[in-house]
Chain A
Amino acid sequence: MMPVKLKDILELPECRTLVSAAPDREVTKIFCCDLLSIAMSKAPAGCVWVTVMGNRNTLAVASLADAACIVLAEGVSLDEGTLAKAGEEGIAVLSTELPVFDIALEIHEAGGL
């Protein structure tokens, strides 16, 4: 199977791209979790992390866990400063109106993750 790249996910019609970074980075897995302590210890490196937790600590956790991309579900967003920082750190950020499960399923079906 072809490796899934971040750009395949950035192109999903249900998602709005807030930060486009590292489109050629290979993504490994989909990971869904809102508790940051659990996300930090369990999120696999290179994952697409789906969450409704949209604050600056979300980015810190994504960065420390080496996630490739944050997908904010349920219309959640991040403030401008945090988005700028995500760009600096090379972490893509997407936003969608869909619930966590639905968007995770979309990504799964689109990418085979």
Chain B
Amino acid sequence: MGEPLIYTYDIDGEDFTRAGEASSSVKNRLKMLGVDSAAIRKTAIAMYEGEINMVIHADGGTITVIISDDAITMVLADRGPGIPDIEKAMQEGYSTARPEVRSLGFGAGMGLPNMKRFTDEMKIDTVIGQGTTITMKVYLHSDGL
């Protein structure tokens, strides 16, 4: 493959039930590109958790996915409230989600930990009152594409 492929998705903060459409679309694109299925699964799970977080906490945002020869990079940018204590937010089981979100099966405090577990690199840039940008990378083997 030569030039990296770049896709951008607007995440609607209003509609919780639509969360997951962007990750599904990325999953299908990666399938068509013949990316190895373990890398697809990791990317899809990490991105879906990110999408859900953006809808729950930040009223949506933008996800940019860059597919290159050696990695899939996801940049999730929102203009939400920011994360006051990243260390706490990274603990499994810690959640600030609303009860109605929990009743839908989310808000178990697994989002950020899952994102870290399923990616090879993860970086969180957050500014209170301005927003959060999370960059995640899933490595591809040299024969992956």
Contacts and interface: CB of A to CB of B under 8 A. Distances in A.
Interface of A: 34-41, 45, 53, 55-58, 60-61, 63-66
A40 B48 contact: yes
Contact of A38 (B16, B37, B110): B110
Given A36-B105, A57-B19, A64-B45, 13 more contacts: A34-B105, A35-B108, A35-B110, A37-B111, A45-B37, A45-B41, A56-B18, A57-B52, A57-B104, A60-B24, A61-B48, A64-B24, A64-B44
Interface residues of B, number: 25
Contact of A64 (B16, B18, B27): B27
A55 B20 contact: no
10 contacts: A36-B106, A38-B110, A40-B48, A40-B49, A41-B117, A57-B19, A57-B105, A58-B105, A60-B20, A65-B45
Q: Is the interface of A mostly helix, strand, loop or mixed?
A: helix
Interface of B: 16-21, 23-24, 27, 37, 41, 44-45, 48-49, 52, 104-106, 108, 110-111, 114, 117-118
B46 to A, nearest CB: 10
B45 A57 contact: no
